Amino acid sequence: MADKKITALTASTALSADDLFHVVDSPASSPSNKKITVAHAFNLVPTYLGFSATPQVVTSGNINVSAAVSFISVNGGQSYALPAGTAGQIKILVCTVATNSPVATVTPAASGNDGYNTIAFKAVGQTATLMYVNTAWMIIALGSTSAGLAGGTVGPITA
């Protein structure tokens, strides 16, 4: 093994908690080779990580499910469709612009929550977080900033 470059090694396609990473400790001063488990490395990752992509701004039509976060911009009454996702996918919707009084309605392609088929956004700062489970979107959380409360809470979630 000492005669192989790291780039020549077989790629691992499934990490487990006890797998090891190679670490070169203190490379600028006194480098030494060390190891760290996958579990230990990921326990050191900060909890405030952001998403790798810029949120998508949506003004009408279909909401892109490949963007983790979508900013909903409403000028009067708007209708949006949320297509089917992938199992385990999380989608965050945030109302960032709300002018005129009609609400924005988001209609998921399939709903896993009993009794709803649309989510209404009434004010800036209102949010909905959904997860795609099996073949439907499930609501994880609905929220509103203090500014959003003046326009009413997110909802109603209607059947």
Provide mean pLDDT across the span 17-27.
Answer: 89
- At 156 the pLDDT is 46
pLDDT of residue 34: 93
Instruction: For the chain, give every domain's residue range.
Output: 17-49, 56-158
Confidence band, pLDDT 50/70/90 cuts, at residue 101: low
Q: Report the pLDDT averaged over residues 136-141.
A: 86
Q: Is 138 left (phi over 0), alpha (psi -120 to 50) or beta?
A: beta
Per-residue confidence (pLDDT) for residue 48, from 0 to 100: 66
What is the chain's mean pLDDT, rounded? 80
**C-alpha dihedral (20, 21, 25, 28), degrees to nearest 10:** 170
Residue-by-residue DSSP string for 115-157 = T-SEEEE-STT-EEEEEEETTEEEEEEEE--HHHHTT--S--E
Residues contacting 8, CB < 8 A, separation 6+? none
| Chain centre distance of CA 69 | 6
- Over residues 56-70, the pLDDT tens digits come to 888 888 999 888 999
**Between 3.40.30, 1.20.58, 3.30.230, 2.60.120, what CATH number should domain 56-158 receive?**
2.60.120
Exposed, middle or buried: residue 72 (CB in 10 Å: 0-12, 13-18, 19+)?
buried
Task: Please tell me which residue, 115 or 12, carries the higher pLDDT value.
Answer: 12
pLDDT exceeds cutoff 50 at 45: yes
pLDDT at 116: 66
- Alpha carbon separation from 26 to 5, 23, 58, 70, 130 (Å, rounded): 20, 9, 46, 41, 43
